Structure 1
């Protein structure tokens, strides 16, 4: 399992960013809690490390490296369901990260339920890969950057008296506007995709899956299985498996990614 390379190298600036954004509100210090969690983890004190990382989430901060290290802690404690849950959450905030994907693949090999899944049409895979290429915070930063650049070039085209500069500024303003709209549409598509694709992980050791909330057992699932939630009915949720089987389970046996 890959433990510390991403933890120290790429997580510090992410957590520091949250510090800068929320420090004005008097929030607790997530960077200090993060470094404490890393130190405790390296000492093999996994339960205390887990609590340190959880304090960051309880303070209102959310970052891929925090979820990644929570996954590592649960993996060391033998809690594979929660390890998968937090690695999946990390993967959504750090799409394409090699450490997250490696550990997620490793822990997925340990679960009981394995499925034969048919590949989606290549255009669907291509589109989903494009959506997963950029995390939403990065897309927001890109949108803001293109917006500011477009405004600056518009202002430059209005204020300059040089014909050549005015022409170039107008063209760059048009290009910036196109990129701004494109990034905005990509962000909207990603948001709608996530909203319509509610996924969860089974956390109970063994779960009876029913044909309906008051129906009969149709099959059994085990800890760590990833499912998609289709709808809710009281304390029950209808789930869809990777092999497209459908059934109902109690909401208490799973947690949403």
Structure 2
């Protein structure tokens, strides 16, 4: 019995020291000390173990930014934003990093309604929209039960109306969650990692030179052929580059 108590006491005493040696804690401590290169390696190690969170991507992006590596910083800010689109710190730091990108591209204007819906959808994560969808489905069932079991016509009408509205919101929020989930699983956007790259008119080194892009620029991959990727810019221009010139978000 005494031996068991000693073992429990030893575990309790040593538990804090184990916690201090976790990879995430070690990476955070290195960042706080200003040892950013070592922190980068530690955060990358954590991500390689498939422990993914917006906080880890955000801290890794900050470490890259502190060392002047803008393209990796933007890449990881974008990955953090995918997981936590509502986070203001991520949005602010991403905007700061974009100020260092040489390419200043125009954005093709979208219809107001489409832009408005996208703004609402991007205001929350896929997980949050899922919770909203489930919540409104439960609310829909509650109002539906009022409609089915109430003896008063006023309650039945109100129950039917609110059940219909709740179901509508449930479907809308489910659609938002599905789109956000698809954005995380099917990555279409990438960041230029080459200091400068000439965009070709065809997937061939002998193709016509169209324009020049620099590291840190965000592009959308719309097609691929072998080692070549067909990319589209926010201003609508398209072209081809080698897959080694970009890193998928």
Fold agreement, TM-score > 0.5: yes
The 8 Å contact of residues 197 and 228 in structure 1, kept in 2 or not, is answered as: no
Distance 1:54 1:196 in 2: 22
Unaligned runs of 5+ in 2: 1-18
Distance 2:236 2:165 in 1: 43
The root-mean-square deviation of aligned C-alpha atoms, in Å, is 3.2
- Cα 1:93–1:196 shift into 2, 3 Å: closer
- Cα 1:150–1:51 shift into 2, 3 Å: farther
Aligned to 2:190: 200
Secondary structure of 1:133's match? coil
Aligned to 2:79: 89
TM-score between both structures, scaled by the size of structure 2:
0.77
Residue correspondence of structure 1 range 96-245 to structure 2 within 5 A: 96-151=86-141, 175-191=165-181, 198-214=188-204, 215-245=207-237
The 8 Å contact of residues 125 and 177 in structure 2, kept in 1 or not, is answered as: no
Unaligned runs of 5+ in 1: 1-28
Determine which structure has more spread, i.e. the larger CA radius of gyration.
2
Distance 2:245 2:119 in 1: 30
TM-score between both structures, scaled by the size of structure 1:
0.75
Distance 1:92 1:108 in 2: 17
Distance 2:116 2:152 in 1: 44
The number of aligned residues is 228
Give yes or no for the alignment of 1:64 onto 2:54.
Answer: yes
